[in-house]
Amino acid sequence: MDKIAVTCEEASLDAQVDSRFGRAAGFLIVDPDTMEFEYINNGSTQGMAQGAGIQAAENIAKSGAKILLTGNVGPKAFQGLDAAGIQIGQNLAAMTVRQAIEKFKAGDVDFASSHNKTGHWK
Amino acid sequence: MKIAIASGKGGTGKTTVSSSLVSVWESPVIAMDLDVEEPNLHLFLKPTITGKRTANMEIPKVDDTLCSKCGKCGELCQFKAISLMGEILMIFPEMCHGCGGCIAICPEGALTTEFRELGEVTWGQSGDAEFLMGRLRVGEAMSPPLMRTVKEKLKEMLDASSKDVIIDAPPGVSCPAMNAVMDSDVILLVTEPTPFGFYDMKLAHEAFLPMGKPMGVVVNRAGLGNADVYDYCAEKKLEIMAEIPYDRQIAETYAKGSIISESSDEMKQIFISLAEKIKQKTGSKKSQGGMP
């Protein structure tokens, strides 16, 4: 099964899903079969004046994950993730990383066809 | 001599002061509106427009047949205007600041330039004064690149003959405000004696201080608020160069699009005196012709 990237507030499966995608504290790249994970620190995007979503999408694309579970995704991040062939499950903020993955494995996550947040520049 | 009229807080009276100063200025002068996000000096000076040009900025364009997907451009770009997303090189034109770094660094020569429209530079004549302004395209977020284009036109106008320049600057203390005041010989901070006016004037004073330019304060709506602005100016040895009273008549004059220094002798005197003090502050060395 493809690896899953989940935005997280800390480097743990029991951490809360970070509702922000672009300015998420970090990502867990999880193997859903074994639940083994790798942590990617995304904190540097929090200080960016612009382009945090694009940078975060680039980070996910590099990680090799093909699925992203998160809260909110802006328009440019969505465009970037879409170009990199990553499928996006949105509105999953009020739960832990583990719960989000269980929900996905149970087939309860619909992939988004567009972003669910407006950009800062529009 | 270039005089920048800045403020910190918006709506303190930059354009009121700029238009009135232009009106009483005796030597040849260019009135320049660098508040390109919302220029309004023309509403008061009512210039006859004699020319305009579109301002563009160079942004990258990729030739996919040459791109090797090395991603060096995206690593360089601090604004994420160009980014390698998996196997696709994406360009976000509206994010680009036009530095040209990606084009310079590309080892394959796969990046060339195309243009993004920033806005318009307009010029003309208002009475004895020349007039120049920039207007940002609706939807465009970056004003400093457009301001540079306005300044290029200013240089052409100054090359034709030497003149003083009165700059109506944007509010705030970020890039647009810094860009508007950085070439000036003196900065006037227009404020109002309210807590909000005071707070933002302090920010502007602190932001502009490292440039080492002479600064002075114009207190608009004097009589309103409290003494904080005055106390701060006394402490920092910032000269209060003019006070414009808080007066309904002035608001009415402004609301009609008239210039307040032309509304009464008392107002005219305030600005003649301000113009004199500005000249004293800068030594008036660069002014040419017509000066007493």
Q: Per-residue pLDDT tens for B122-159?
A: 999 999 999 999 999 999 988 999 999 999 999 999 99
Looking at residue B222, what is its pLDDT? 97
For residue A122, the model assigns a pLDDT of: 45
For residue A61, give the nearest of B77, B86, B141 by CB distance.
Answer: B86
pLDDT at B257 over 60: yes
Report the chain B residue with the minimal C-alpha distance to residue A80. Answer: B85
Q: What pLDDT score was predicted for residue B284?
A: 58
Q: Give the least confident one: A16-20, A29-33, A72-76, A109-113.
A: A109-113
- Position A31 scores a pLDDT of 96
Percent of chain B whose predicted confidence (pLDDT) is above 90: 93
Contact B157, B130 (CB under 8 A): yes
Please state whether beta strands B29-33 and A4-8 pair in parallel, antiparallel, or not at all (unpaired): unpaired
Residue in A29, A25, A77 with CA at minimum distance from that of residue A50: A77
Burial of A71 (0-12, 13-18, 19+ CB in 10 A): buried
Q: What distance in Å separates residue A48's CA from the closest CA in chain B?
A: 8
List every span in chain B annotated with CATH 3.30.70.20: 56-117
Tens digit of each residue's pLDDT (9 = 90 or more) over B173-200: 999 999 999 999 999 999 999 999 999 9
- What is the interface size between A and B, counted as CB pairs within 8 Å? 47
- Going by C-alpha positions, the residue among B84, B60, B81, B62 that lies closest to residue B71 is B84
CA angle B69, B70, B72 (to 5 degrees): 125
- Which one of B75, B80, B95 would you mutate to disrupt binding with A, by most A Cβ within 10 Å of its Cβ? B80
Whether residue B287 has pLDDT greater than 50: no
Question: Which residues of B137-288 form beta strands (DSSP E)?
Answer: 164-168, 186-191, 215-222, 239-245
- Which residues does residue B58 pair with via DSSP β-bridges, in sequence order? B115
What DSSP designation does A47 have? G
Q: Which residues of A touch B92 (CB under 8 A)?
A: 51, 54, 76
Can you give the pLDDT at residue A115?
Answer: 83
3-state secondary structure of B137: coil
pLDDT class of B292 with cuts at 50, 70, 90: very low
**Nearest residue, CB atoms, B85 vs list A48, A84, A121:** A84
Chain B hits for A84, CB-CB cut-off 8 Å, are 85-88
CATH architecture of B56-117: 2-Layer Sandwich (3.30)
B280 Cβ contact list (under 8 Å, min separation 6): none
Closest in A49, A50, A61 to B85, CB measured: A61
Question: What is the average pLDDT across B266-280?
Answer: 97
A63 and chain B: CB distance < 8 Å anywhere? no
Cβ(B32)–Cβ(B157) below 8 Å: no
Alpha-carbon span B20 to B45, nearest angstrom: 9
Residue A120: predicted pLDDT: 59
Residue labelled with tokens 């790249």: A29
Top residue of B83, B136, B137, B142 to mutate, by most chain A CBs within 10 Å, is B83
Judged by a CB distance cut-off of 8 A, whether residue A121 touches chain B is yes
- CB of A3 less than 8 A from some CB of B: no
User: What is residue B183's predicted lDDT score, i.e. its pLDDT?
Assistant: 95
Model confidence at B9: pLDDT above 50: yes
Nearest by CB to A83, which of B90, B94, B141? Answer: B90
Torsion sign over Cα B245, B251, B253, B258? positive
**Is 80 exceeded by the pLDDT of residue B286?**
no
- pLDDT value at B118 more than 80: yes
CATH 3.40.50.300 in chain B, residue ranges: 2-27+163-287
Architecture of the domain whose range is B2-27+163-287: 3-Layer(aba) Sandwich (3.40)
Over residues A29-75, the pLDDT tens digits come to 999 999 999 999 998 888 888 899 999 999 999 999 999 999 999 99
Contacts of A48 in chain B (CB under 8 A): 80
Nearest to B235 by CA among B217, B223, B222: B217
